[in-house]
Amino acid sequence: MAELTISVSDGLEAKLRPMQEHLEEILELGLRELEPTLSPIYDEVINFLAKGPSTSEIANFQASEKAQERLSELLDKNRSSQLTELEVVELDRFQTTNHFMTLVKARARRLPIRS
């Protein structure tokens, strides 16, 4: 098991001290809560698919301008090796989501058209 030392405010330290034995669980839960917010495209795709789009809507799906701008920022930072660790995760999320939507679109093209 690895050991990690971090600096936190006095107020946070006071809250964490009684929970020392559960810090690993607290961090795991916190990271799980944070993960979906790391990429705007992740929520966009989930919300889009939850609406039960038609095959033509799936085929025409495009990420929002905001998500596309964020992807451009991340790619620019990646080219110059300036991504933070969270941005690396966010960029990975974009790539995974893009691959997933490519597969969904390909599958939708093989289905009968419904409006």
For 68-85, write each residue's pLDDT tens digit: 999 999 999 999 999 988
For residues 79 and 104, membership in a common domain is answered with yes
Instruction: Give yes or no for a contact between 91 and 70, defined as CB atoms under 8 angstroms apart.
Output: no
Residue 3 lies in a domain: no
- Is residue 25 very low, low, confident or very high in pLDDT (cuts 50, 70, 90)? confident
Q: Please state, rounded to an integer, the average pLDDT across all residues of the chain.
A: 87
For residues 62 and 95, membership in a common domain is answered with yes
This prediction's pTM: 0.63
CA distance readout (Å), 98 to 39, 91, 101, 102: 12, 11, 5, 6
Which residues span the domain enclosing 61?
39-109
Residue 115 lies in a domain: no
For residues 68 and 98, membership in a common domain is answered with yes
User: CA-CA distance, 91 to 56, in Å (whole number)?
Assistant: 27
Domain count along the chain: 2
Confidence (pLDDT) at 82: 95
